[in-house]
Amino acid sequence: MTPDILTGTEEDIKELVDGLHFGEKVDRAKELLAWAFDKFGDKAVVANSLGKDSMVVWDLAVKVNPEVKGFIVTTVYKPAETITYMNDLVALYPDNLKIYKSDVNVGDLYATDPDACCKALKVEPVRQAVEEMNVECWITGLRCTEGRTRTDFREIEERDHGLIKLNPILLFHEREIWQYMAINSVKVNPLYAQGYRSLGCAPCTKISTGDNERAGRWIGTSKCGGECGIHTQPLKAISTVNVAAIREENIHPEAVTAGEITGDDIVDR
Ligand code: SF4
């Protein structure tokens, strides 16, 4: 079956988020990952932020393809707990995971211009990883129920010029992430035990309550509950992937896909 690249509406996503049970979502995520590894080989690479969602995707990816490659972007502002957690994870997967970190000194730019700070410390290293690792499909832990900025994503996307983005756990609820981690004994970043629900750099991440998982991010700024930019800004300028051909292929029969989003559509939310 050939998926229709334009039929993945927000309603389709909502129906699947509430209509599929946990086991079906896990199977679906594995099928999507298997498709990506089959199609892109070692150019299908997992982006790991060390948060709970990334860790579920990493665990799924390793189960589907033990040789999978991944990259972690860290910053000078990451909490000590996250750095220790990262080092422990990389020690477990020394041949699979690569760390990227900007050495640009941005001072306290996070306080005055967090968008610029994120661009320098997060978006640029991701671009570097995409280029150096020759990525044609990057795999993320993005979930559509995670916050106000994440409702219009699809499982397979081309957000910028030839770089395919796979979001295999897009349909997971927050509880299903914890369900997966418990069932599969995935090690948890200790910051969650303190009450954090979404993890980032120390100056921009607070413990929060309420429904919005990302409410603790960038509190007190216009960026509150928003994005660092890696999901909203272009990561690759030159196309090396024949996206038109992918649209003609058989992929996951029910995968909700989206076509290329032009530069006009890419906004930092
Ligand atoms: S989360 Fe905060 S400290 Fe980290 S890169 Fe973004 S603005 Fe800078």
Residue range(s) defining the domain that contains residue 86: 10-252
- The answer to whether residue 227 sits within a structural domain is yes
- Considering the domain boundaries, does residue 262 fall inside one? no
What is the Cβ-side half-sphere exposure of residue 207, based on CA atoms within 13 angstroms?
Answer: 6
* Dist. CA 149–CA 244, nearest whole Å: 27
Atom of ligand 1 nearest to the CA of 77: 3
Question: What is the structure's pLDDT at 220?
Answer: 73
pTM of the model: 0.84
The pLDDT, as a whole number, for residue 8 is: 66
Residue that is written with structure tokens 């530069």 in the block: 263
More confident residue, 33 or 218: 33
pLDDT single digits (tens) 134-183: 999 999 999 998 876 667 788 998 877 789 999 999 999 999 999 999 99
pLDDT tens for 245-254 read: 544 554 444 5
Sign of the dihedral defined by the CA atoms of residues 38, 97, 49, 21, in that order: positive
Is residue 265 domain-resident? no
H helix intervals, the chain:
10-19, 22-40, 52-64, 80-92, 109-112, 114-118, 124-132, 174-183, 191-194, 243-248
| pLDDT-based confidence at residue 256 (cuts at 50, 70, 90) | low
What is the Å distance from ligand 1's center to 242 Cα?
34
Greatest extent of the chain over all pairs of C-alpha atoms, in Å: 52
**Ligand 1 atom closest to residue 115's alpha carbon, by position in its atom list:** 7
Which of 122, 206, 222 has most ligand 1 atoms within 8 Å of its beta carbon, as the pocket-test mutant?
A: 122
| Residues flanking ligand 1, CB < 6 Å | 75, 77, 110, 114, 117-118, 121-122, 200-201, 203-204, 228
Mean pLDDT rounded to a whole number for the chain: 84
Domain of 135: which CATH number?
A: 3.40.50.620
| 227-238 residue pLDDT tens | 677 777 778 754
Q: What's the mean pLDDT in 63-91?
A: 97
Query: Looking at the 3D structure of the chain, how many domains does it have?
Result: 1
